[in-house]
A and B are shown apart, each in its own frame.
Chain A
Amino acid sequence: MIDQGEITQLLVQVNKGDINAYNKIFPVIYNELRHIAHRIRFQYFGLETLNTTAIVHEAYLKIINSEANWSSRAHFYGVAGKAMRHILLNAARRNNAIKRGRDAQHICFEEWEEKINLSDECSNELLRLDEVLIELEEKDSKQVKIVECRFFANMTIEETAVVLDISPSTVKRNWQVIKAWIYSQIQAKKIA
């Protein structure tokens, strides 16, 4: 187990682009996210719907000292967004594999991912989204990070701005373009 001070430090490194730090911290956050979801409904019994926000927030409380400052929180969310993207993609792939009659047991999925019951439609959308995100990565990898923060970790514009070290207005403007572009690419794939 890594201690809290170290985690905070690692998060800062990760967001500076340190791949070693990333490899160290990613599994911690990924595991935590995986374990949280099936419990979380009971924790926040008042929540009408469970969403990625609630899960990421809970993981944050668990891993990071609640008194940690705002920027380390934002950094955590930055990594969590990527982790959440992986989890959802795996869940969608698994769903798709089952649908095609392949034995899901032979494909290695984490236990927790089996607990996500994505609809067929949602799985397909997520797979399509991932293809588009890979294309976006080739064009401009910074934009993908915005998607991970804004969509997968459900971060606010301000939090995203801190993680990526750009101004909130830039995040806002970029996000508007990204959304429209992704949507146009996904529509094009549907027609094709």
Chain B
Amino acid sequence: MDYSWNKLEEIFQNALKLPAIEREYYVALQAKNDDRLRDTILTMLKDEKNADQYFDNLQAGIATGFEEKKEDIFKPGDIIDKYKIVKSLGRGGMGQVYLAERNDQQFEQKVAIKCFSAEEVKDNFLLNFRNEQQFLANLNHAAIAHILDGGITDSGIHYIIMEYVDGLPIDQFLRTNTLTTQEKIQLFLKICDAINYAHNRLILHLDIKPSNILVNADRQVKLLDFGIAQKIGTKLQHKNQKATPYFAAPEQINLGSITTATDIFQLGILFHIILTSKNPLNPKENNPFDRNLIISESLSLEIRSILEKCLNEQSDNRYTSVNELNSDLERYLQNRPISTLKHNNSYIFSKYIRRNKITIMLVGLAIVSLTSGIIFSSYQANKAQKSEQLALKQKERAEYISSFLIGFFESPNPRDNSKLGADFTVDEFLDLARDKVDNELSERPKMKYELLAVITNMYNNLGRQEKTAEIDKELISKYQKFLGDSSTQFLDAQIRLARFYSERGELAKADSMFNKIESNTDMPYFARGNALTEHALYYQNIKGDFKTADSLVQLSLNLFIENRDTLRKEFADALSIAGTIKNRFSNFKEAGEYYERELTIKNEISTNDPVDIALTKSNLATIYLQTGKAKKALKIQLEALKVLEENLGESHIHTMHAYNNLTHIYLDNYKFDSANYFSQKALKLYNSTVGDKSYETAYVSLNSIIFDIKKGNYEEAQNKIDNARASFERTLPPNHYLNSLLGIYQSSLAIAETNPQNALKAVQESKNYIKGVLPETHFFYAYIIINEARAQLLLNEKEQALKLLEQSFEILKESKGMLNYRTQQTVAELAKIYIEKGEMGKANIYQAYITPEFKSSKLSD
């Protein structure tokens, strides 16, 4: 026990900030000769997650130790009234529940019997017990468990006989059944309907929680336990009546007035749990009395606004009836966005066109298209912009300003815009706000420019670049004068302008702006880091100078690392760019590490942007695919797709891109039909959104040709090649190596049509395009010579074919890995030819490479 705690703490904390692979080296270096210290820290790092689990388990063990051992009130076989107990169904916070059946053999009937021991009834519970019996008898609704009878046994046990519901508590049900958001809302609406029914009969539930709501296999719901229900109007003021703290409305804890709004609050909690499996009151700390409302950021804006209204601390500010809640949900389901949002599709649309993400597609294009289907649109890239401002740890101030601004218009909620008029657009709102701030705050310049900066940022988020730049040019000197050289507002405006100039092609102005920014010595390191990242983007996107871009982004990364401040969005964004650049240099391993670290950080700091995380996952999926991890790629791409579909819709460029990616990912999972499905889907969407003339559509269309050939639609395949050729002629330089794609597909088609001469002609065309451009180890060569080999086979030149196939096998093995479907196809062809030749030794070697999954898939023939 020699090492000091301080030393241990310092090394451990610093090591945590490093990527996993660098930790061991760092720890060994820092621990010098203290082996014990080194080993302890390495174990700690390795087991960090298990430690949390250990403490959680210990807490759970202690909690169990505190539980009183309660005896079962009834045993199987006991007779109550006309019923015989079958088994215990468990116990809630109050009472025990048994399954029982008719004892008189008149007819088969299962019931649930809820009973309370004499001790439980002694002081407080009798009241509830009577309530429950009486209320439930009044309620006759398909989604409320019927009460059949009730009474007291000779030994003083109070019981209620209820309809038996064969279902799972809703939270468990959702764990075992995967429902879409739409289906979850439908399920929730059924619960609302039952509560509404009770409300109309002046009965409140007041204990709405997952364990009181059962769902059966047909997704029918039943509400149980109107245990503490009270007639509307009578106050719940009995000191021992406390609702479950995890689900209670504030007025239930403070013993305030109980109304329908109390049920609305509990419905809000339930709804949040249904959607996210998390309780919004207490997601982190395991202390039911310290409640802290956190509505999941992964939910859509509309749903969050509905939840906020349900979960308002003040009961007067919640929905006044379940009906009102229902109609907002119905509107949501019918895709009629709530209020102002529907007039401003661009608002939602542009929010997610993130500049750095688009970049990745651009870079990907140079290498991929054929293999991983990364597509980009220069149109989108130009239009796109980055919507986050530099987070200079001024979140609170920003919030203050926003709320001040919003207060101007007395409309805190986009839903509730009665004062603004139905057709009020966000643009009009901002114009109005700008005038107002300009006029009313001339006496307070600091406040005025802070607010104008907020408004400018909003224009920027809406994709109004021209307008943003116009305001920035006008205000930039004011920011500097009134808010200072190192103010967020000044730095933001500079970066925005630099970006604006670069996108407009005014490179001299952009360069001088970047120089100005980087010569500012007052700037905090995170702002400098962010500026460097932005500069790297500029070199990457606009100048196409990846080397400089790489060195700039590395400088940015180092700034954050040196300041031991890597748990922040700016650092993660820089990692994203760094990953993109490594990808560009085909350094997939490092690219993957950057993306994984980006993802870890973004999950850790819970950015409020699920789409951002989904795009990172898409990038990572591409890397996994390139490095032979097809199953991992599939899993993560599907996760990303779900978020993209939900947030952006099918026809957004990012979602379409994900569909196209899935084509390749499914192919490498040897799932031909799924690959075909996503290929068709992507093609259809590209055709309808960007049109059949665009080159993005051409790429996607080329990707789909293998399916046409497989199905014998040769004419269709030829049309696609011809269209792509026309599109490439319009968009690519005449000698660009990507033109080789046309020959690759043309030769595949010719082989399918048993025309070896044409195939060889097309092969030659492809080779001409890549000669001297791509190294001979590039997989494009493999694709080309596979077709050459097939053509030679058709000409009965077996030896020549074998030589070519073995050559392409070597290339594919190195570049794509053994599991890639084309590698597998090549191996299968080699094995087949050797079998035909009777060289079983060689045939066996190749056959051993073929995986059973590939063998049994449609891709193997």
Question: What are 27 A-B contacts defined by CB distance under 8 Å?
Answer: A43-B240, A43-B242, A45-B94, A45-B125, A46-B94, A47-B93, A47-B244, A47-B245, A47-B288, A48-B211, A50-B63, A51-B63, A51-B286, A91-B65, A116-B65, A119-B61, A122-B61, A122-B65, A125-B61, A140-B6, A151-B55, A177-B12, A180-B45, A181-B44, A184-B43, A184-B44, A184-B51
Those of A117-132 within 8 Å (CB) of chain B: 117-119, 121-122, 125-126, 129
Contact call B66/A116, Cβ cutoff below 8 A: yes
Please measure, in the bound complex, the distance between the C-alpha atom of A35 and the C-alpha atom of B181, giving whole angstroms: 47
Q: Which of B54, B59, B240, B287 has the most CB of A within 10 A?
A: B287
Tell me if A156 counts as interface (CB < 8 A to partner B).
yes
Please measure, in the bound complex, the distance between the C-alpha atom of A174 and the C-alpha atom of B287, giving whole angstroms: 21
What chain B residues lie within 8 Å of A139 (beta carbons)?
1, 4-5
**A60 CB, nearest partner CB in chain B, Å:** 9
Please name the residue on chain B nearest to A151 by beta carbon: B55
Contact call A183/B54, Cβ cutoff below 8 A: yes
Q: Which of B13, B68, B123, B242 has the most CB of A within 10 A?
A: B68
Contact call A174/B9, Cβ cutoff below 8 A: yes
Contact call B68/A53, Cβ cutoff below 8 A: no
Contact call B66/A46, Cβ cutoff below 8 A: no
Please measure, in the bound complex, the distance between the C-alpha atom of A119 and the C-alpha atom of B64, giving whole angstroms: 8
Tell me if B62 counts as interface (CB < 8 A to partner A).
yes
Those of B17-55 within 8 Å (CB) of chain A: 40, 43-45, 47-48, 50-52, 54-55
Please measure, in the bound complex, the distance between the C-alpha atom of A126 and the C-alpha atom of B65, giving whole angstroms: 12
**B230 CB, nearest partner CB in chain A, Å:** 15
Contact call B242/A184, Cβ cutoff below 8 A: no
Tell me if A110 counts as interface (CB < 8 A to partner B).
no
For chain A, what secondary structure do more than half of its interface residues adopt (helix, strand, loop), or is it mixed?
helix
**A84 CB, nearest partner CB in chain B, Å:** 9
Please measure, in the bound complex, the distance between the C-alpha atom of A110 and the C-alpha atom of B445, giving whole angstroms: 69
Please name the residue on chain A nearest to B65 by beta carbon: A118
Q: How many residues of B contact A (CB 8 A)?
A: 54
Contact call A38/B68, Cβ cutoff below 8 A: yes
Please name the residue on chain B nearest to A41 by beta carbon: B68
Those of A148-179 within 8 Å (CB) of chain B: 151, 154-156, 173-174, 176-177, 179
Please measure, in the bound complex, the distance between the C-alpha atom of A167 and the C-alpha atom of B135, giving whole angstroms: 52
What chain B residues lie within 8 Å of A55 (beta carbons)?
66
What chain B residues lie within 8 Å of A177 (beta carbons)?
8-9, 12-13, 44
Contact call B285/A156, Cβ cutoff below 8 A: yes
Q: Which of A45, A48, A121, A156 has the most CB of B within 10 A?
A: A45
Contact call B120/A186, Cβ cutoff below 8 A: no
Please name the residue on chain B nearest to A88 by beta carbon: B62
Those of B752-811 within 8 Å (CB) of chain A: none
Please measure, in the bound complex, the distance between the C-alpha atom of A187 and the C-alpha atom of B125, giving whole angstroms: 47
**A145 CB, nearest partner CB in chain B, Å:** 13
What chain A residues lie within 8 Å of B285 (beta carbons)?
156
Please measure, in the bound complex, the distance between the C-alpha atom of A126 and the C-alpha atom of B246, giving whole angstroms: 28
Please measure, in the bound complex, the distance between the C-alpha atom of A110 and the C-alpha atom of B826, giving whole angstroms: 77
Q: How many residues of A contact B (CB 8 A)?
A: 52
How does the 8 Å CB contact mask read for B255-294 relative to A, with 1 for contact and 0 for none?
0000000000000000000000000000001111110000
Contact call A183/B44, Cβ cutoff below 8 A: yes
What chain A residues lie within 8 Å of B286 (beta carbons)?
51, 53, 154
When the two chains form the complex, which single residue of A138, A140, A176, A181 contacts B40, counting CB atoms closer than 8 Å?
A: A181
Tell me if A143 counts as interface (CB < 8 A to partner B).
yes
Known: A43-B240, A43-B242. Contact between A179 and B55, CB under 8 A?
yes
**A82 CB, nearest partner CB in chain B, Å:** 16
Please measure, in the bound complex, the distance between the C-alpha atom of A149 and the C-alpha atom of B4, giving whole angstroms: 23
Please measure, in the bound complex, the distance between the C-alpha atom of A177 and the C-alpha atom of B5, giving whole angstroms: 10
A-B complex: 3 closest residue pairs judged by Cβ atoms: A46-B244, A122-B61, A183-B51
**B641 CB, nearest partner CB in chain A, Å:** 34
What chain B residues lie within 8 Å of A138 (beta carbons)?
1
Contact call A48/B93, Cβ cutoff below 8 A: yes
When the two chains form the complex, which single residue of B1, B48, B67, B245 contacts A135, counting CB atoms closer than 8 Å?
A: B1
Tell me if A44 counts as interface (CB < 8 A to partner B).
yes
Please measure, in the bound complex, the distance between the C-alpha atom of A44 and the C-alpha atom of B94, giving whole angstroms: 9
Please measure, in the bound complex, the distance between the C-alpha atom of A119 and the C-alpha atom of B93, giving whole angstroms: 22
Contact call A125/B13, Cβ cutoff below 8 A: no
Contact call A118/B242, Cβ cutoff below 8 A: no
Q: Which of A38, A135, A138, A154 has the most CB of B within 10 A?
A: A154
What chain B residues lie within 8 Å of A119 (beta carbons)?
61, 64-65
Please name the residue on chain A nearest to B292 by beta carbon: A156
Please name the residue on chain A nearest to B284 by beta carbon: A156
**A110 CB, nearest partner CB in chain B, Å:** 15
Please name the residue on chain A nearest to B51 by beta carbon: A183
What chain B residues lie within 8 Å of A184 (beta carbons)?
40, 43-44, 47, 51
What chain A residues lie within 8 Å of B12 (beta carbons)?
177, 180-181
Contact call A118/B67, Cβ cutoff below 8 A: no
Known: A42-B120, A122-B62. Contact between A140 and B5, CB under 8 A?
yes
Contact call B67/A50, Cβ cutoff below 8 A: yes
Contact call A44/B242, Cβ cutoff below 8 A: yes
Please name the residue on chain A nearest to B58 by beta carbon: A125
Contact call B5/A121, Cβ cutoff below 8 A: no
**B343 CB, nearest partner CB in chain A, Å:** 42
Please measure, in the bound complex, the distance between the C-alpha atom of A76 and the C-alpha atom of B611, giving whole angstroms: 44
Contact call A46/B1, Cβ cutoff below 8 A: no
Tell me if A37 counts as interface (CB < 8 A to partner B).
yes
Please measure, in the bound complex, the distance between the C-alpha atom of A117 and the C-alpha atom of B62, giving whole angstroms: 9
Tell me if B175 counts as interface (CB < 8 A to partner A).
no
